[in-house]
Amino acid sequence: RKEVEQDPGPFNVPEGATVAFNCTYSNSASQSFFWYRQDCRKEPKLLMSVYSSGNEDGRFTAQLNRASQYISLLIRDSKLSDSATYLCVVNRDTGFQKLVFGTGTRLLVSP
C-alpha cells in the first residue's frame, strides 16, 4: 500500500464547476500536509498548506481529518488555468522536512 493515496483521475469538469479531490495517508506520525500543483513537465509548486482547522485561499479550500488520515482539496468556480495535476503531500518531519508525495490527481477544466 502506498503511503499517500490519491485517485489519479483525470477529473474532467467544465469551467465554473466545483471539484473535490481526496487523499489518504497511512503514517499516523505525519506532521504536516500540503497540496502542490504540477503542470505538465514542470516542477511541483506549493498550492497551500493544510491545517487541522481547515483553511481557505480564494477559490481553494483544504481540509484535514487526522483521525481518518484524510485530506481534501475543494476548488470552486474552476478556471481553465486550474488544469494541472494536484499532488497530495505529507511531511514525516523527522527533524527536517521529508515529503512523501501522492501520484497526483489530474484535473482538466474545459470551456
Partner 1 sequence: DAMVIQNPRYQVTQFGKPVTLSCSQTLNHNVMYWYQQKSSQAPKLLFHYYDKDFNNEADTPDNFQSRRPNTSFCFLDIRSPGLGDAAMYLCATSRAVGGASNQPQHFGDGTRLSIL
Residue 46 touching partner 1 (CB under 8 A): yes
> How far apart are the C-alpha atoms of 13 and 49, rounded to whole Å?
24
Cell of 76: 470552486
Residue 93 touching partner 1 (CB under 8 A): yes
Residue 31 touching partner 1 (CB under 8 A): yes
Candidate residues 11, 21, 25, 34; the one interacting with partner 1 per rule CB under 8 A = 34
Find the shortest distance in angstroms from Cβ 93 to partner 1: 5
Handedness of CA 70, 77, 110, 40 (dihedral sign): negative
Cell of 109: 477544466
Find the shortest distance in angstroms from Cβ 110 to partner 1: 21
**Of 107, 37, 100, 31, nearest to 64 (Cα)?**
31
Q: Which of residues 72-91 bind partner 1 (CB under 8 A)?
A: 87, 91
Residue 95 touching partner 1 (CB under 8 A): yes
Q: Which is nearer to partner 1, 15 or 93 (CB)?
A: 93
> How far apart are the C-alpha atoms of 77 and 68, rounded to whole Å?
28
Residue 103 touching partner 1 (CB under 8 A): yes
Find the shortest distance in angstroms from Cβ 18 to partner 1: 26
Size of the chain in residues: 111
